[in-house]
């Protein structure tokens, strides 16, 4: 029986990551190329098409052996229409029917998925969640993203923007988020807002070793907070503990909404290791209910920076199986 392959594309504002995978999630080729957003819509579409061809060429695979392409794109978008609607870091793709454009460019059936959903599918298909059927993933980076797998299926919702986990409200009337809501978990537990909150407290006169970074003209980063908190800095420890507690609050919410077996934490902030995981688990236990022990396992993702392209290819394999392109 001939072996078939799918190409996964992780589309970002700076780079396009692409790879060719078989049905068992084995990567046969992978690489990254510039997106070149500033050169316009047709250039970006052409770059995606060229990346698909390169993925095949580097693996020595003919286009006749490729049965699908999966694209993970920033949203909002419509999976059903194959339409990228309003991707903040890809303004040239606003309201662009990307699925049909890539199908026309390559001649290969294509599916379009939110990039966070694709990464969650990657962990479900080939990573930390490959032994479970119900999974929630929080991606902790500049913002907070996520994806939900329930009953072995991606949760998208009626308007196709489900699983915007970073915008779960964890503090009524709290800090303003970039989405214009107040009190989102992103406004407390993302790397960007974590650092901004520390800066605000220092500006208000709170004593902290972090002031040295600010006085030196450095942009305060999440890793500075972690380093200072580990060293016993009271302000840094407060900000870090709050971030972990608010994240745990969001996890409790998802426990009661989709009742997952597993919660996966991904993104740059998991570099903090047990300093993050131990606290999130601790606060989850303190905050959750006592009526029954339907507690998800909380652990780190395993696919790292490859989750997006692996998941995008996995979405193509799933579309081939279900017919939901």
Q: In whole angstroms, what is the distance from residue 79 CA to residue 325 CA?
A: 8
Tokens of 88: 């903040």
Residues 12/35, Cβ–Cβ less than 8 Å: yes
Predicted pLDDT at 88: 82
CATH number of 5-122+305-322: 3.30.420.40
Residue 292: which region, alpha, beta or left (left: phi > 0; alpha: psi -120 to 50)? Answer: beta
- pLDDT tens digits, the chain, 325 residues: what are they? 578 999 999 999 999 999 999 999 999 999 999 999 999 999 999 999 999 999 999 999 999 999 999 999 998 999 999 999 999 889 999 999 999 999 999 999 999 999 999 999 999 999 999 999 999 999 999 999 999 999 999 999 999 999 999 999 999 999 999 899 999 999 999 999 999 999 999 999 999 999 999 999 999 999 999 999 999 999 999 999 999 999 999 999 999 999 999 999 999 999 999 999 999 999 999 999 999 999 999 999 999 999 999 999 999 999 999 999 9
Give, for 113, the enclosing helix (H) or strand (E).
strand 110-114
Our measurement of the distance from residue 262's CA atom to the centroid of its chain's CA atoms, rounded to an integer in Å, reads 16
157 secondary structure, DSSP code: -
The distance in angstroms from the start CA to the end CA of the chain is 24
Closest CA to 164 of 176, 181, 153: 181
Residues 118/315, Cβ–Cβ less than 8 Å: yes
Closest CA to 18 of 131, 125, 102: 102
pTM: 0.94
Predicted pLDDT at 144: 95
**Which residues make up the CATH 3.30.420.40 domain(s) of the chain?**
5-122+305-322, 132-301
Q: What pairs with residue 176 in β-bridges?
A: 182
CATH number of 132-301: 3.30.420.40
Predicted pLDDT at 181: 96
Residues 10/72, Cβ–Cβ less than 8 Å: yes
Cβ neighbourhood burial of 203 (10 Å; 0-12, 13-18, 19+):
exposed
Give, for 135, the enclosing helix (H) or strand (E).
strand 135-140
Predicted pLDDT at 25: 96
Question: Which string of DSSP letters, residue by residue, matches 18-37?
Answer: EEEE-TT--EEEEEEEE--G
């Amino acid at each position: 029986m001939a072996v078939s392959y799918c190409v996964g594309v992780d589309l970002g504002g700076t780079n396009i990551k692409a790879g060719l995978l078989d049905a068992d999630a084995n990567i046969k080729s992978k690489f990254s190329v510039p997106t070149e957003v500033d050169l316009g819509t047709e250039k970006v579409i052409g770059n995606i098409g060229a990346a698909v061809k390169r993925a095949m060429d580097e693996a020595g695979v003919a286009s006749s052996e490729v049965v699908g392409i999966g694209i993970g794109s920033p949203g909002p978008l419509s999976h059903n229409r194959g339409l990228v609607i309003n991707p903040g870091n890809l303004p040239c793709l606003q309201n662009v029917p990307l699925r049909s454009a890539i199908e026309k460019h390559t001649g290969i059936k294509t599916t379009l998925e939110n990039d966070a959903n694709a990464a969650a599918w990657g962990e479900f298909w080939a990573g930390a969640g490959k032994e479970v059927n119900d999974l929630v993933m929080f991606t902790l980076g500049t913002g907070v993203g996520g994806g939900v797998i329930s009953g072995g299926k991606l949760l998208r919702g009626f308007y196709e923007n489900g699983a915007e986990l970073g915008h779960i409200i964890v503090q009524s009337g709290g800090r303003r988020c970039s989405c214009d809501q107040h009190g989102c978990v992103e406004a407390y537990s993302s790397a960007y807002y974590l650092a901004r909150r520390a800066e605000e407290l220092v500006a208000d006169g709170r004593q902290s070793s972090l002031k040295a970074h600010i006085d030196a003209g450095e942009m305060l980063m999440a890793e500075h907070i972690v380093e200072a908190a580990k060293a016993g800095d009271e302000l840094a420890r407060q900000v870090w503990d709050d971030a972990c507690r608010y994240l745990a609050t969001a996890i409790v919410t998802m426990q009661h909404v989709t009742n997952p077996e597993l919660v996966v934490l991904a993104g740059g902030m998991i570099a903090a290791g047990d300093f993050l995981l131990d606290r999130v688990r601790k606060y989850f236990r303190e905050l959750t209910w006592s009526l029954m022990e339907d507690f998800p396992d909380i652990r780190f993702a395993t696919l790292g920076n490859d989750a997006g392209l692996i998941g995008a290819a996995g979405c193509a394999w799933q579309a081939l199986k279900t017919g939901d392109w």
